[in-house]
Amino acid sequence: MKTADVVILGGGPGGYAAAIRSAQLGQSVILIDEAQVGGTCLHRGCIPTKALLHAAEVADNARTATQFGVNATFEGVDPEKLHGFKNTVVSRLYKGLSGLIEGLGITVVNGRGKLTGPRSVDVDGTTVTGRTIVLATGSAPKVPGAITTSDRVLTSDQALELATIPDTAIILGGGVIGVEFASLWASFGTKVTIVEALPRLVPNEDAAISTYLERLFRRRRITAKTGTRVTEVTSDENAVQVTLESGDVLSADVLLVAVGRAPRTEGLGLAENGVTVEGGFVVTDESLRTSVPSIYAIGDIVGGLQLAHRAFQHGIFVAERIAGREAELVADAGIPRVTYCHPEIASVGLTEDAAREQYGDGVETVTYDLAGNGRSQILKASGAVKLVVDPAGAVVGVHMIGAGVSELIGEAQLLYNLGVKAEEAARFVHAHPTQNEALGEALMAVSGAPLHLHG
């Protein structure tokens, strides 16, 4: 038997954040994971996909180099070296994380854990007990029941390890994962078709951002079939065929199933030990405590945004609450959201539709096109910054699309979470020439004093 103050089931971003902060606060910690600590984010998600997306950006730069007076050519991709680059990044981060966990005296138990009581977990026959248990088992790619994965029908986990770059690909789902892989493969020369059941790509974003993305994807020759459902998927040794509701049949080398991620809560003994689960998600109160007082749940298994940085926040919050400290959660609307396709998408707060539903007709919006931004012109970057302001003048939504806008989301989240009025924020200086100026220009415009914007 092993015992500690805090036992954490799952070593992804939420789990290891809870472990690290608990140890920093003087708690003894046991961290249980059936694989390597770091979870999907480090090994099969955020980090490896963004490494590949950076390589895709390098490929795009090689193709367009002559526009900048640089003689360069794109001659193709070496998948072995590509994966070598990706794996080196992952390995270095994993080594650093492992060293941090070891240095803090956190005990890591490898194996599949299952809840056996309000303070106990079985790990492959070994009982682990704790004063408090934190459930942090994360999520896995969702695959509709009518679809069977294979060498040609892939989840994002499989797509990350492809030994070759497909000539043609169909992507089922136009959300974050779908458009990131579409962008990645298109940069490497793949002919991509996205099939999305809802009326637009990235349907959780502001409608204006979807419009920009669809237009810019068309320029990149990425085909998007929105408002379209799939009725059948078949494959053979040569190709995969996707039948649409219209009767049309698409054929490609591979199909990526990117319809979202499902919480990993099955087979963990949760309901049997009194933990309420609804629709696969663990039900918690505002402190992330479950229906069993000694058990908390964090990250992707708690309904809401499935983002690594949300899980980080959950882990830190729960660790501080367990240690008796005051802590406060940022609501999901205040958590930055970034999609790393080309062009990037970054947003925080309410969409225009959501703001009008909440605040009525007094909502104001302004959209500043990156065509007026000097830095964006240098980068040959298209896109826009859209602000949503409530009737009192406070910024309640920031929605951006364009190269590098992920780096602008830090200021945007402060505007939203601190309830800053656009007129107050507009008086501060944004360095020239930067893309950050676009946010400053939008703030000035919505305050009635635009500088480089007509109207």
User: Going by C-beta distance under 8 Å and a sequence separation of 6 or more, which residues neighbour residue 182?
Assistant: 169, 171, 192, 194, 217, 222, 341
pLDDT of residue 274: 98
| Rounded CA separation 86/41 (Å) | 13
Kindly report the number of other CB atoms within 10 A of residue 239's CB atom: 15
**How many Cα atoms within 13 Å fall on the side-chain side of residue 335?**
16
User: Going by C-beta distance under 8 Å and a sequence separation of 6 or more, which residues neighbour residue 96?
Assistant: none
* Mean pLDDT calculated for residue range 219-238: 96
**DSSP H or E stretch at residue 209:** helix 207-219
User: Is the distance from CB of 365 to CB of 205 less than 8 angstroms?
Assistant: no
Q: What is the dihedral of CA 149, 152, 154, 159, to 10 degrees?
A: 150
Catalytic annotation, pick one of 430, 432, 452, 454: 432
* Mean pLDDT calculated for residue range 116-138: 97
What 3-state class would DSSP assign to 369? strand
User: Is the distance from CB of 204 to CB of 234 less than 8 angstroms?
Assistant: no
Fill in the DSSP letter of residue 297: E
Give me the numbers of helices (H) and strands (E) for the chain, helices first please. Answer: 13, 24
| Rounded CA separation 335/295 (Å) | 24
What 3-state class would DSSP assign to 268? coil
Task: Give residue-wise pLDDT tens across range 66-87.
Answer: 999 999 999 999 999 999 999 9
Q: Which of the four pLDDT bands, split at 50, 70 and 90, describes residue 453?
A: low
Task: Give residue-wise pLDDT tens across range 33-78.
Answer: 999 999 999 999 999 999 999 999 999 999 999 999 999 999 999 9
Q: Which of 177, 174, 147, 131 is nearest to 294 (CA)?
A: 131
Instruction: Please indicate, yes or no, whether the overall pTM of this predicted structure exceeds 0.75.
Output: yes
pLDDT of residue 1: 84
User: Going by C-beta distance under 8 Å and a sequence separation of 6 or more, which residues neighbour residue 448?
Assistant: none
| Rounded CA separation 21/384 (Å) | 38
Q: Is 432 a catalytic residue?
A: yes
Amino acid code (one letter) for 126:
T
Task: Give residue-wise pLDDT tens across range 235-279.
Answer: 998 999 999 999 999 999 999 999 999 999 999 999 999 999 999
Whether the link from the prior residue into 343 is cis, omega within 30° of 0, is yes
**DSSP H or E stretch at residue 428:** none
Give the CA radius of gyration of the chain: 23
| Both tokens assigned to 122 | 């079985």
Angle in degrees, CA 413, 415, 416, rounded to 5: 65
